[in-house]
Chains A and B, each alone.
Chain A
Amino acid sequence: QVQLQESGPGLVKPSQTLSLTCTVSGGSIRSDGFYWSWIRQPPGKGLEWIGYIYYSGTAYYNPSLKSRVDISVDTSKTQFSLKLSSVTAADTAVYYCARYDSGSRAGWFDPWGQGTLVTVSS
């Protein structure tokens, strides 16, 4: 059973770069048909898709964040990572990683990691 776990600093200063890693266990990050995703949730608010990446390196981003986001994958470590630059307080959120099933008859996120709170503050 695939499990995902986020890790990274819980506090980032304004204007700096937020960096998080998601470690995949119980399955292969190189499996066909799956994209590895980042989704965030500001405190008390709804869900926002940030982007996802295929193990080949092909990535798709939310246009609202595209200029500041970079998602990468390290298949040797079964990890994928998120970098969000020039952060402000508006980027304070719980960040989730999740697997996106993109098969020919698929289109859903499952499973999700437990999430990690990142606070942007000086």
Chain B
Amino acid sequence: DIVMTQSPLSLSVTPGEPASISCRSSQSLLNSNGYTYLDWYLQKPGQSPQLLIYLGSNRASGVPGRFSGSGSGTDFTLKIRRVEAEDVGVYYCMQALQTPVTFGQGTRLEIK
């Protein structure tokens, strides 16, 4: 199985400040088709997870421009340019390169 490791596991950010979450995979997520199978999800309190970023760097429909995904191979980053109160929740990275699909442990973001 591909192991996904996130850091930090928790983050406290002042509104308006940036935030960054790292995700590392135990093997490269680059597919032979040239795409990298790494997604980011946000689970807001009391809600089901929602897709934020797919294929490493593509924002899902309706996701604000302050969210961006980057990285390649085994190292990935989710950045929030200026954190807002509505961004609180747990962020998960996920690899879809091979089954079993696996998720990172999650990073809890709170507002200071």
Q: Which residues of A contact B (CB under 8 A)?
A: 46-49, 60, 62-64, 96, 100, 104-110, 112-115
Smallest beta-carbon distance B98→chain A, Å = 10
Contact (A107, B49) CB under 8 Å given A46-B103, A48-B103, A49-B103: no
Place the interface of chain B in its size category.
20 to 34
B54 touches A47 (CB 8 A): no
A107 touches B54 (CB 8 A): yes
Interface of A is mostly: loop
Contact (A108, B51) CB under 8 Å given A46-B92, A46-B106: yes
Which B75-112 residues sit within 8 Å CB-CB of chain A?
92, 94, 96-97, 99-106
Q: Does B30 contact A (CB under 8 A)?
A: no
B103 touches A47 (CB 8 A): yes
Closest residue of A by beta carbon distance from B53: A108
Q: Does B60 contact A (CB under 8 A)?
A: yes
Offer 10 A-B interface pairs, CB within 8 angstroms, sorted by A.
A47-B94, A49-B102, A100-B96, A105-B55, A106-B54, A107-B55, A108-B54, A108-B55, A108-B60, A110-B54
A63 touches B54 (CB 8 A): no
Give which listed residue, A47, A104, A106, contacts B49 with CB less than 8 A: A47
Smallest beta-carbon distance A88→chain B, Å = 20
Q: 7 closest Cβ contacts across the A-B interface?
A: A107-B96, A110-B51, A49-B101, A112-B48, A108-B54, A62-B100, A47-B103
Greatest chain A CB density within 10 A among B39, B96, B102, B105 is at B96
Contacts of A106 in B (CB 8 A): 54-55
